[in-house]
Amino acid sequence: EVQLLESGGGLVQPGGSLRLSCAASGFTFSSYPMGWVRQAPGKGLQWVSSISDTGGGTYYADSVKGRFTVSRDNSKNTLYLQMNSLRAEDTAVYYCVKFTNVGGWYEDYWGQGTLVTVSS
């Protein structure tokens, strides 16, 4: 059974930093791209970042480019999101997602999410 368990969320002041982690199990982690999708309170879904299976390719939404860094440790089956220069508009539940490719890469499994609140 695929499991994605996020951690690291919490309350942080504007301009601060936070690192999210996602521990994966139930599949061959190193074979799949992974990513992060967020959802602001009461709002819709927004793709944040993706990373290739090897970690050699990283991709970001314009709204977080230059502030967030996605990485992975395939030896630990763990995905990370380093978030710097946080803003109030970054407040959201952050979901870890696994991608699959059956004709195009799409998210087939989601973690339960971790809440990030940016407020003074």
DSSP bridge pairs for 11: 117
**For residue 53, which phi and psi values (nearest 5 degrees)?**
-60, -35
Tokens at 58, concatenated: 């990283």
- The residue behind tokens 């996020």 is 6
* Least distance (Å) between residue 107 CB and another protein: 7
Residues 30-69 that bind another protein (CB under 8 A): 44-47, 59, 61-62
**Integer distance in angstroms from the first to the last C-alpha of the chain?**
40
* Least distance (Å) between residue 55 CB and another protein: 18
Binding mask 99-118 for another protein (x = CB under 8 A): ---xxxxxxxxxxxx-----
- The residue behind tokens 């301009």 is 15
Q: Is 90 a binder of another protein (CB under 8 A)?
A: no
Interacting residue ranges for another protein, rule: CB under 8 A: 44-47, 59, 61-62, 95, 102-113
